[in-house]
Amino acid sequence: MSLRSGWARVALFTMVMVLGAGTTYLFAGSAEAATVSIANGTQFKDTAGNILHAHGGGIIKVDSYYYWFGENRNSNGSFRYVSCYRSTDLKNWEFRNHVLTQNSASELSSANIERPKVIYNSSTKQYVMWMHKESSSDYGQARAAVATSSTVDGNYSYRGSFRPLNYMSRDITLFRDDDGTGYMISAANENADLHVYRLSADYLTVSSRVQLLWAGQKREAPALFKRNGVYFLLTSGCTGWSPNQQKYATATSITGTWSSLQNVGNGTMYDSQTTFVLPIQGSQTTSYLYLGDRWAGAWSGPVNDSQYVWLPIQFPTTTTMTISWATNVSIDTATGAVSGSTLTDDPMVNLVARHSGKCVAVESSSTADHAAVIQQACGSGTNQQWQLQDAGSGYYRIVARHSGKCLDVTSGSTEDRAAIIQWSCGSGTNQQFSLQDAGSGYYRIVARHSGKCLDVTSGSTADGATIMQYTCGSGTNQQWSRRAV
Ligand code: DGJ
């Protein structure tokens, strides 16, 4: 029952709220924050329920709000908007504005804009955005572009694009040092080299190139941050949309000597590419959060299908950093505490079939034992909401929110085509499932007692198609994503 399909991949994940004992949450707009939990490898939704598009983005804190800017593209990949959202807790994001649009300048009507970043210039009282600018057809222009606004989430005025000091300029980031000096870092020389530029006092242009780093080593996606007087520059390799080994170097002066490159994370940074490192300064500590993009281009999807991977950074010494995978990242912006966790006590999620984009549901919201489990167009019903509860040894019970009952392979059958139903939770291994990584944010859901996979019967895309177990294969009707609710 392994059906291959060319159907559009639907990965409508969102951010989630943990409502467990002792955990509270506040909506954006509140001046305070509490611990929130964010599901990694997902798309996020804004507070209006729309998919949040801030890819290749960066965050700036203004007063009590974090403002997140990033790419929001047309379906063909061309520039549509730089969009801006704000949050106090980094989980509940309020859409603020499409701060740059195709109408902002004639050269933006058909363009490619990547990796917008914003810093504030306290002398000119302007928010200054730098970004990577290309035509909509290829990467030949290799330019940087600048836009400004007097309010952080206002309409930015486009000030044009250029090659800084006539060097090619692609993947880009900005950094504002403690003394107010601005720096721009971008990939030059057909991405072979990385250049660090000091910005002019108004941040509108570059005044000089202060570093040519790692010539010929093809580092891109730069993210620069400073911790206790040590600068860390995190970069990816250069493999298009596909993830690769991220590396970092340190220095005690941006213009001084940088260390050699060190590996960080696993060989693909958990299927993501760095875009930014966010310091979260709280009352108790300052943590550093890795913000990465899991680009949909890696599975031939459009940029706006991309997902986010946010991970805590650990610092074994003052000049070393490590990043480990975490299914969920917990953040308390009030204290500054950030930690990663595994799937145990996951927040409620929809389970979305890859081939159909439809959700696992208990038929007719029944609360009875033996109710059928089907696929259904995703909605807000709690009969489509599931919690993965740790059953030990890498297995989970999958519990329906509306009924408190468990996904169950009927009668503990080990046969192909045995129906999936809901049943009162117990200790049976026919109610225990492991998640097997199928790549690109999808999982096979494998029954412990049978080793067989949750499968939408015959690869149907229809509402009401039953879910059964079947011998695991490569079919996308056996691949599921977690979409937080
Ligand atoms: C990797 C870059 O980091 C992205 O911003 C984007 O330009 C892709 N390459 C395009 O392949």
**Domain 10-344 -> CATH class:** mainly beta
- Is 166 in a helix, a strand, or coil? helix
Specify the pLDDT at position 343. 53
Distance 220 CA to ligand 1 centre (A): 8
Ligand 1 pocket, residues with Cβ under 6 angstroms: 56, 114-115, 171, 220-221, 240-241, 273
Average pLDDT score, the chain = 90
Q: Give CA 323 to chain center in angstroms.
A: 15
What share of the chain in percent tops pLDDT 70?
92
The mean pLDDT value for 269-284 works out to 96
Q: Of all atoms in ligand 1, which is nearest to the CA of residue 273?
A: 3
Q: What is the dihedral of CA 299, 342, 69, 227, to 10 degrees?
A: -120
Judge whether residue 28 has pLDDT over 70. no
Residue (of 367, 328, 460, 465) closest to 1 by Cα position: 460
Nearest CA to ligand 1 atom 3: 221
The mean pLDDT value for 174-186 works out to 98
Specify the pLDDT at position 34. 84
Distance 154 CA to ligand 1 centre (A): 27
Query: 117 or 342: which carries more pLDDT confidence?
Result: 117
Distance 295 CA to ligand 1 centre (A): 9
Structure tokens at 3: 């059906």
How far apart CA 242 and CA 297 sit, in angstroms, is 7
The mean pLDDT value for 211-230 works out to 98
Q: Give CA 436 to chain center in angstroms.
A: 20
Judged by average pLDDT, the poorest of 23-27, 88-92, 134-138, 212-216 is 23-27
Specify the pLDDT at position 3. 27
Specify the pLDDT at position 128. 99
Distance 194 CA to ligand 1 centre (A): 14
Name the band, by pLDDT with cuts 50, 70 and 90, for residue 342.
low
The mean pLDDT value for 454-472 works out to 97
Q: Of all atoms in ligand 1, which is nearest to the CA of residue 220?
A: 3
Long-range contacts of 386-390 (CB under 8 A, 24+ apart): 386/348, 386/349, 386/350, 386/351, 386/360, 387/345, 387/346, 387/347, 387/348, 387/349, 388/343, 388/346, 388/349, 388/435, 389/344, 389/345, 389/346, 390/343, 390/344, 390/345
Q: Which residue has the tokens 């930014």?
A: 276
Beta strands in 228-272 (DSSP E): 230-236, 246-251, 262-264
Specify the pLDDT at position 297. 93
Judged by average pLDDT, the poorest of 1-5, 53-57, 150-154, 169-173 is 1-5
Per the CB < 8 A criterion, the answer to whether 107 and 118 are in contact is no
Residue (of 233, 214, 311, 217) closest to 272 by Cα position: 311
Residue 476 — φ and ψ, nearest 5°? -75, -10
Query: 259 or 29: which carries more pLDDT confidence?
Result: 259
Per the CB < 8 A criterion, the answer to whether 119 and 176 are in contact is yes
Note the pLDDT tens digit of each residue in 307-319: 999 999 999 999 9
* Cβ-proximal residues to 190 (8 Å cutoff; 6+ apart), any chain: 142, 168
Q: Of all atoms in ligand 1, which is nearest to the CA of residue 297?
A: 11
- Is 215 in a helix, a strand, or coil? coil
Judge whether residue 17 has pLDDT over 80. no
Specify the pLDDT at position 14. 26
Q: Of all atoms in ligand 1, which is nearest to the CA of residue 56?
A: 5
Specify the pLDDT at position 404. 77
The mean pLDDT value for 207-230 works out to 98
Note the pLDDT tens digit of each residue in 104-156: 999 999 999 999 999 999 999 999 999 999 999 999 999 999 999 999 999 99
Q: Of all atoms in ligand 1, which is nearest to the CA of residue 114?
A: 5
Residue (of 95, 101, 108) closest to 28 by Cα position: 95
Distance 162 CA to ligand 1 centre (A): 19
DSSP for 13-55 reads --------TT-----BTBS----EEEESSB--B-TTSPBP--E
Judge whether residue 474 has pLDDT over 70. yes
* Cβ-proximal residues to 106 (8 Å cutoff; 6+ apart), any chain: none
Note the pLDDT tens digit of each residue in 78-89: 999 999 999 999
Specify the pLDDT at position 441. 82
Nearest CA to ligand 1 atom 11: 240
Note the pLDDT tens digit of each residue in 143-171: 999 999 999 999 999 999 999 999 999 99
Distance 422 CA to ligand 1 centre (A): 44
The mean pLDDT value for 47-66 works out to 97
How far apart CA 95 and CA 102 sit, in angstroms, is 18
Judge whether residue 446 has pLDDT over 90. yes
Judge whether residue 11 has pLDDT over 50. no
Per the CB < 8 A criterion, the answer to whether 38 and 15 are in contact is yes
Q: How many helices (H) and strands (E) does the chain have?
A: 0, 35
Nearest CA to ligand 1 atom 10: 240
Nearest CA to ligand 1 atom 1: 240
Name the band, by pLDDT with cuts 50, 70 and 90, for residue 18.
very low
Specify the pLDDT at position 475. 96
Specify the pLDDT at position 41. 82
* Cβ-proximal residues to 96 (8 Å cutoff; 6+ apart), any chain: 67, 84, 85, 86, 153
- Residue 374: burial class (beta carbons within 10 Å; 0-12, 13-18, 19+): buried
Structure tokens at 241: 């949309």
The mean pLDDT value for 403-428 works out to 90
* Cβ-proximal residues to 317 (8 Å cutoff; 6+ apart), any chain: none
Specify the pLDDT at position 33. 58
Q: Torsion-angle region of residue 41: left (phi > 0), alpha (psi -120 to 50) or beta? A: left
Structure tokens at 37: 């939990």
User: Cβ atoms within 10 A of the Cβ of 32, count?
Assistant: 11
Structure tokens at 8: 């559009």
Q: How many residues does the chain have?
A: 485
Structure tokens at 483: 């979409």
The mean pLDDT value for 26-44 works out to 66
- List the domain boundaries for the chain: 10-344, 348-484
Name the band, by pLDDT with cuts 50, 70 and 90, for residue 31.
very low
CATH of the domain spanning 348-484, picked from 3.40.50.1820, 3.40.50.2000, 3.90.226.10, 2.80.10.50: 2.80.10.50
Specify the pLDDT at position 346. 61
Distance 425 CA to ligand 1 centre (A): 46
How far apart CA 435 and CA 98 sit, in angstroms, is 37
Specify the pLDDT at position 436. 85
Integer angstrom CA distances of residue 321 from 62, 64, 144, 177, 247: 27, 27, 30, 20, 10
Note the pLDDT tens digit of each residue in 378-400: 998 989 999 887 776 678 889 88
Specify the pLDDT at position 7. 22
